[in-house]
Amino acid sequence: MSTYSSRKEVPEHEKWDVSDIYSSLDEWREDVAVIEEMTVKLKEFDGKIEDGHSLYDFLSMQEKLSFHLSKVVVYARLQVDVDTRDKKAESILDEATQLSVKASTAVSFFRPFILSLDKSTLQEYISEVEGLTYFEDDLMDLFRYKPHVLSKEKEEVLTQLGEALSSPSKTFGMINNADIKFGLVTKDDGEKVELTRGMYEKLLKNEDRNKRKEAYHAYYKPYVELNNTIASTLSSAIKTNVTVSKMKNYPSALEKSLFADQVPKEVYDKLIEATKNHLAPYHRYQKIRKEMLGVDELRQYDLSIPLVKGVDKDIPYNEAYDLMLKALAPLGEEYVETLAEFKDKRYIDVRETPGKRSGAYNMGLYGVHPFVLLNHQDNLNSLFTLAHEMGHAMHSYLSAKHQPQITAGYTIFVAEVASTVNEVLLIHYLLNQSTDDKTRKYLVNDFIDKFKGTFFTQVMFANFEKDTHELAEAGKPLTAEVFNEVYEQLFREYNGPDMVFDEEVKYGWSRIPHFYRPFYVYKYATGFAAAIQLANGLLENKEGAKEAYLEFLQSGSSDYPLELLKKAGVDLTTSEPIEKALAFFTELVDEFEGK
């Protein structure tokens, strides 16, 4: 059974156990009081850090506060997510959020203070107090930002303008989530109803092409109507990013975004260049899609419908978990046994129930364990989601087990690697186990489409961000017409000659929230490519591959992401991982075509 009318019906062993964080709300409140007290004490350090001892006292207390605050916030978050209608849970999450803001404000003086010191003074403090070596890497990393920090007065002005500078993103969020009204679609009984996002995803996979076409036009209707308004918000967001980057002495907005992870601009450029040089297999797949669908013209609303029908079989949760464990055997007995225990120890909330947050996620909690939210539907898609999220969960678990608190968390740059490695191992296992051609073809098609969404589409988005920021940096206008032209040109280039382009295609940029978090989407593609190379090393039983990969999972943020991946065997400063991933895509298309 995969659908339940209430949470009470779900077996206990398929619900996560939040008592692993706090045994009761009273215990949670005790920690809230501890955080309140520490927040007051931390604020008192402002202007009073004068030597290594006071610096150590501040940093130790700040880390302790961070530990307690994470528990308080996650405990509240998990309870809201299993029932978003629960007012009591919402109330404690509000309380936790306000507490988090208060704590952040209390320590906001610290970064400017550290950057006001000479490096020699800080090194003197570290040599003074042995315990400061624990914080040394983080403190010294802050000094990388010194050339990009303005005067105290200017930094204060920028901080005060923070809310105003983020308004384009907030405005788009309100337009996209609250104000947009999609066009009408026809139900099976002939009644006209307003399209919703959930309906749109399903209708794009409908066998009836007229229904797909109707849904496509209804979905894009508000984006076409609001084209100038949304162009204004995105233009403002890009220009703000460009202006702040210039003010802070970065060579470009792109390099400002890459700075924290110490990623050279060449990594971004090589990703786009290598992908553009290997678009032919993707174009060939579009041609295959057109032929298999039997349409005279392949259009955008034909890109989501599965090409192999009647294979998606029922896979109960317990069977899915066992399949996943078998598929992950190349990671070794200890990995598989640990992951098997996650199910029995109730780290996972499995079932869809009324009011539960949609989708799936992993939330690692240092000092406790990972918590995984699913909405498992006993099908192939849910099996892949399970493998994906448990990849994240094992990354969180192993990093927390092997790293101190300060380096236990991993960066977004490497976040999708562990999840995608699991998916690649799973697809290979299922292909090896499949006994009929139809099932095999279905699996290959499913992974090709996954590759398309996680890699090609994200690189195209990254290309759009780079082009539009460069236009702003050159002082060129960013109007709706400019955005439409740039996006349509890229869409045509990436999707190839076998597509016929509806008028709506050029408005695609206007529906992407990620564009308000600039130069973020490329990490999906680099993570995906890195994961394919790592998974292939595991499958080929390459010497040292398993040990190097497990060490990567244990490393948290103990080094910069490119260095961690190099140690695991992937060098993203070269084109090799991208080219290997694209070669794998070519193999998938070849098999699907029957070559």
pLDDT tens by residue, 451-466: 999 999 999 999 999 9
Fold observed for domain 260-307+412-595: Neurolysin; domain 3 (1.10.1370)
Distance CA 204, CA 492 (A): 20
Confidence of residue 351 (pLDDT cuts 50, 70, 90): very high
Over residues 61-79, mean pLDDT: 97
Decide if pLDDT at 2 tops 70.
no
Which one has a higher pLDDT value, 187 or 252?
A: 252
Confidence of residue 25 (pLDDT cuts 50, 70, 90): very high
Inter-residue contact 271 to 459 (CB < 8 Å):
yes
Region(s) of the chain under CATH 1.10.1370.20: 260-307+412-595
Distance CA 206, CA 211 (A): 7
Which residue type does 256 have?
K
**CATH number for the segment(s) 9-165:** 1.20.140.70
Min mean pLDDT across 347-361, 382-396, 525-539 is at 347-361
In degrees rounded to 5, what are phi and psi of residue 521?
-65, -25
- Give this prediction's pTM: 0.91
Q: State the DSSP code for 352.
A: B
Q: Using one digit for the tens of pLDDT, what is the confidence trace for 498-507?
A: 999 999 999 9
Three-state SS at 366: coil
Region(s) of the chain under CATH 1.20.140.70: 9-165
In degrees to the nearest 10, what's the CA dihedral of 518, 512, 79, 417? -60
Decide if pLDDT at 18 tops 60.
yes
pLDDT for 165 equals 82
Q: Which is it for the CA torsion 208, 209, 214, 220, positive or negative?
A: positive
389, 416, 465, 473: the active-site residue: 389
Neighbours of 176 (CB within 10 A): 20
Q: Using one digit for the tens of pLDDT, what is the confidence trace for 182-202?
A: 999 998 888 999 998 878 988
Percent share of the chain, pLDDT over 90: 82
Decide if pLDDT at 595 tops 70.
no
Q: Using one digit for the tens of pLDDT, what is the confidence trace for 190-236?
A: 899 999 887 898 899 999 999 999 999 999 999 999 999 999 999 99
Distance CA 95, CA 73 (A): 9
Distance CA 41, CA 46 (A): 10
Tokens of 515: 């564009």
Min mean pLDDT across 142-151, 384-393, 535-544 is at 142-151
Inter-residue contact 411 to 530 (CB < 8 Å):
no
Host H or E run for residue 361: strand 361-363
Percent share of the chain, pLDDT over 70: 99
Neighbours of 172 (CB within 10 A): 23
Distance CA 206, CA 63 (A): 52
Inter-residue contact 483 to 471 (CB < 8 Å):
no
Q: State the DSSP code for 296.
A: S
pLDDT for 271 equals 96
Find the angle CA(445)-CA(293)-CA(205) to the nearest 5 degrees.
Answer: 65
Confidence of residue 154 (pLDDT cuts 50, 70, 90): confident
Inter-residue contact 216 to 229 (CB < 8 Å):
no
pLDDT for 3 equals 66
Over residues 127-148, mean pLDDT: 93
Which residue type does 40 have?
V
Decide if pLDDT at 61 tops 90.
yes
Distance CA 550, CA 456 (A): 28
The answer to whether 543 is a known catalytic residue is: no
In degrees rounded to 5, what are phi and psi of residue 349?
-105, 110
Tokens of 94: 């509000």
Decide if pLDDT at 381 tops 90.
no
pLDDT for 566 equals 97
Q: Using DSSP bridges, classify how beta strands 192-194 and 348-351 pair: parallel, antiparallel or unpaired.
A: unpaired
